[in-house]
Structures are given as C-alpha cells and as structure tokens.
Amino acid sequence: MERKEISNAVIKRLPRYHRYLGELMESGVERISSNDLSEKMNVTASQIRQDLNNFGGFGQQGYGYNVEYLYNEIAKILGIDRQNNMIIIGGGNFGQALTNYSNFERRGFMIQALFDVSHERIGKSVRGIRTLDMKDLEEFLSGCHIDIAVLTVPKNSAQEVADRLIACGIKAIWNFAHLDLKVPDDVVVENVHLSESLMQLSYRISEKRDKEGSGQNS
Amino acid sequence: MERKEISNAVIKRLPRYHRYLGELMESGVERISSNDLSEKMNVTASQIRQDLNNFGGFGQQGYGYNVEYLYNEIAKILGIDRQNNMIIIGGGNFGQALTNYSNFERRGFMIQALFDVSHERIGKSVRGIRTLDMKDLEEFLSGCHIDIAVLTVPKNSAQEVADRLIACGIKAIWNFAHLDLKVPDDVVVENVHLSESLMQLSYRISEKRDKEGSGQNS
C-alpha cells in the first residue's frame, strides 16, 4: 500500500474510530451513517469523512459505512491486523502493570519477555512472561524478532538502554521514561509522559479556577 | 490572572518547557536565549517565543530568558505552584504503579488515598497510602478536599464511578479507563488511553514498512 503523509491529528483519531466501531460490532450494529457515528463520537460528520478519505473513503454516499469492513480496514491501516512482538524493559510496578494488561494481546501486541537489572525480579514470571537479566538483552534479541521495545526504566538510564536496543536493530520504542530520546531517523518513538499529562489536567483546573474567580463562569 | 483561550497544542508543550528548564536549572544554567532553548528542545525559536507570548512573554529582546524565573512562571501557569490532592480509584497494578511513582509528589500532586472493591486490597497500604473501600468513597470525599480523581478501573465500571465522583463535587478526572467519559461542562477530563498510544506507534511502524517496501526509504 502506498501512503501519503497523514497528519498527526488524523493518526491520533484512528484508534478512537477503531474503538467505537468495535463497540458497535459488539452491540450488533452492521451499518452506520457518518452522521450517527459523528453523534456517538462527538466529532463532526465532515471530519470523519475527511479523515477516512485520507485512506480512500470506505463509505458509499447515502449508504453509510459497513461497520465490520471499516473496523477491519482501520485495523489494517493501524498495523494491528498482524502480530507485533514486544519486550518490556523495566520490571517495576509500571512494567508489571503493562504486562498484566491483557487488552494489548487482543490487539496483537504480544509481550515476549520482561527485562530487569534487579536480582529480586530476574527469573520471576508475570502472567507467564519471564523476567530476564538485562545482561542477556543482546543475546535474546539476536535470536528473536521483536517489533517494539517498551521502556519503563528510570530517566537516567533510558537513553543508554535505548542505544543498546537500537544497536540490536529495534526500530520502535514505546517510551514511558520522562525524557526525549535521541534516536536515528529510522527509529520511531511514541512517548507516554504521564507527568506531562497530569500537568495538562492541572492547567485546565487552574484555568477554570481563574475564570470562576474573575466571574466568567464557563 | 485573566487568561485568553490557549490552544491545546500550546498547553501540551508547556510541561515540556517546564521539564527542560528544570534540567537547565539542575545543571546550573541561569540564562538562556530562545535560540539555545530551541536547539535543545528541537522546537523552532519562533515557536517558543510565540508560545510564551500567550502568557505575556517573559524574555527581554537580546537578553534571553532567566531560567529560574521562567521555570517558576510556567509552574504557575500549569497550576503546579500549589498542592493538588488526588485519590486513585482502582488499586490494581496500574493504580499501585501510579501510587509508587514519587515524581508526582515533587510537583505537588499528593495522593491522599487509594480506593478499591477487592477485600484483598482494602486495608493495605502502598507507600504509606491507605487502600479504602469503594463503599466509603462518599464519606471520605465529604470530609476532605480532593482536586483530582484518577480512574484506573475497568472500562465497564468507569462511567458509574465517574458519576459518583462528580456527584461528590469532583471537578477533574485523570482517566486511564479505555472509554470517553460523559461529564458535565464544569468537569475537566484528561485521558491516558494506552492502547491508543500503542496503536499510533503501530501505525508508524506500518507506515515505515510500506515505505521501505515501495522503495522510498525515508
């Protein structure tokens, strides 16, 4: 499939379309108009049409969308129609929480191993997934195709670990460490900076407080 | 402070400015030009100036920014110059991981209690923070000012829990449940949808694979 450049905003909305279509399928809906989908998702119908037109449309004027077909097509666009193998670096609370989150598997993201430096954790299993010694990272990666490495290590070791992963050929990093990784152009990074998300919420709270304080109730 | 409407994109960048300024302070830098800050952060200098001008500027032409002053001003804008009290609903792996993450406290986000429905968890403490029975949520909230409720409950109970929180006067929800909460206009919600973040990464991987497949190496 040839792709044109798609804006970040569209890419961010695709998983949400996928989620809503999945829910519609579960409740037995076979066909939906962009207007009805728009109302459900709180996005304008023209936005939905525009977003989907980036990938060739999928709807027939006046007939709406076939829910299952659109769901599967969006899955293909998102690359979740195939298995993605993952490893998690950092077997602390956060790494364990991610390992225990079985929803990822349902979308084809399979965790193959956890890695840690702590002797208390090495050798233990979380939901059947082994915790291996960080020392053995290179050996493990030489024998196993991994699509995504998840980084839940402390900030001060994150770049060093990323460098090791990249040297082993890892091309995608899901980064929970609170720094911006330096990576070559052919490596993709998706950041989850929880502190920053919390600060955005705090901004919204302050903004509301100020508005209420100055009598402009929103 | 009166505020004008600030775009989401700007609000998303503010915590990142705050983080970089904090790192500069730690390494003893007192003053920085927007050009140097721009190079460090991989954002254009004009973007930085534009973003900060939304809040009145803070720089003097030709003199750059006073790092500590700008750091403190951005903290005020983000509302992290004061204490924000939080409760976490859902004491599973994820709720525990968040409770164990001491970085939040350093920014004034204080977790006052965890809530759960599981009798195995109720009564236990995580880092000195008690796990209380969900039954006692209303009573707890009637005696204690909480700014932010963190939702790490399963998707199918999230809306019901949100409704209870809102009935008790909670005005801000940090939502990790994988659904879009329905809330009144005066309640702010910040979502962390991990599956969607992972799908965005998967999209990037597919996009790259397709490009390579069609011979247009990026």
Q: Which long-range contacts (CB under 8 A, 24 or more apart) does A158-164 make?
A: A161/A89, A161/A134, A164/A137, A164/A138
Judged by average pLDDT, the poorest of A47-61, A123-137, B178-192 is: A47-61
Q: Using 50, 70 and 90 to split pLDDT, how confident is the model at A45?
A: confident
Test B205 with A79 for CB contact under 8 angstroms. Answer: yes
Map residue A199 onto helix, strand or coil: helix
Average pLDDT score over residue span B154-166: 96
pLDDT class for B218, splitting at 50, 70, 90? very low
Query: What single DSSP character describes residue B135?
Result: G
Q: Which of B7-21, B58-72, B144-158, B170-184 has the lowest mean pLDDT?
A: B58-72
**pLDDT at residue B2, rounded to an integer:** 55
- Give strand pairing partners of B67: none
What letter does residue B123 receive in the DSSP assignment? Answer: T
Start-to-end Cα distance in chain A = 46
Q: Is B92 annotated as a binding-site member?
A: yes
Query: Do B194 and A93 make contact, defined as CB atoms within 8 angstroms?
Result: no
Chain A partners within 8 Å of B12 (Cβ): 196, 200
Tracing tokens 């005020």 back to the chain, one arrives at: B76
- What tokens does A48 get? 């939905």
Choice between B7 and B181, residue whose per-residue pLDDT is larger: B181
Task: Give the per-residue pLDDT at A6.
Answer: 82
Strands B148-151, B172-175: pairing is parallel
Summarize pLDDT for A154-201 with one digit per residue, the tens. 999 999 999 999 999 999 999 999 999 999 999 999 999 999 999 999
CB pairs under 8 A between A and B: 185
Q: What confidence score (pLDDT) does residue B217 get? A: 45
User: Chain B partners of A199 at a C-beta cutoff of 8 Å?
Assistant: 14-15, 18, 78, 80, 107
Take residue B121 and report the two structure tokens written for it: 């968890």
List Cα–Cα distances, A63 to A31, A35, A60, A66, B105, in angstroms: 8, 11, 5, 9, 53
Q: Which pLDDT does position B185 carry in this prediction?
A: 94
Contact B98 A197 (CB under 8 A): no
pLDDT surpasses 70 at A218: no
CA distance A169 to chain B (A): 13
pLDDT > 90? residue B202: yes
Partners of A92 on chain B (C-beta within 8 Å) are 97, 100
Contact A101 B15 (CB under 8 A): no
Contact A211 B148 (CB under 8 A): no
DSSP state of B60: B
Least confident of A65-69, A77-81, B117-121, B211-215: B211-215
Task: Describe the crossing of helices B194-213 and A67-78 by its angle, rounded to 10 degrees.
Answer: 70
B82-126 pLDDT per residue, tens:
999 999 999 988 999 999 887 899 889 999 999 999 999 999 999
pLDDT digits (tens, 9 = 90+) for B26-81: 999 999 988 888 988 888 988 888 888 888 767 666 778 899 999 999 999 999 99
At residue B32, φ and ψ (nearest 5 deg) are -145, 140
State whether residue B174 sits within 8 Å of chain A by CB: yes
Interface of B with A in 14-43 (CB under 8 A): 14-16, 18-19, 41-42
Query: Distances in Å between the alpha carbon of A194 and those of A4, A31, B189?
Result: 31, 37, 14
At residue A108, the pLDDT reads: 93
CA–CA dist B104, B118 (Å, integer): 25
pLDDT the model gives residue B57: 67
By the 8 A CB rule, do A145 and A170 touch? no
Q: For residue A60, what pLDDT is reported? A: 66
Per cent of chain B over pLDDT 90 is 70
> For residue B150, what pLDDT is reported?
98
- Interface subset of A 79-108, CB within 8 angstroms of B: 79-80, 84, 92-94, 96-98, 100-101, 103-104, 107
**Using 50, 70 and 90 to split pLDDT, how confident is the model at A53?**
confident
Question: Which of A97, A59, A114 shows the shortest CA–CA distance to B100?
Answer: A97
Residue of A nearest to B191 (CA): A197
- Chain A positions touching B196 (Cβ under 8 A) are 12, 15-16, 19
Look up tokens 């302050």; give the residue. A206
Check pLDDT > 60 for residue B173. Answer: yes
For the segment B169-192, the average pLDDT, to the nearest whole number, is 96
Walk me through the domains of chain A, giving residue ranges and CATH numbers.
8-78 (1.10.10.10), 84-196 (3.40.50.720)
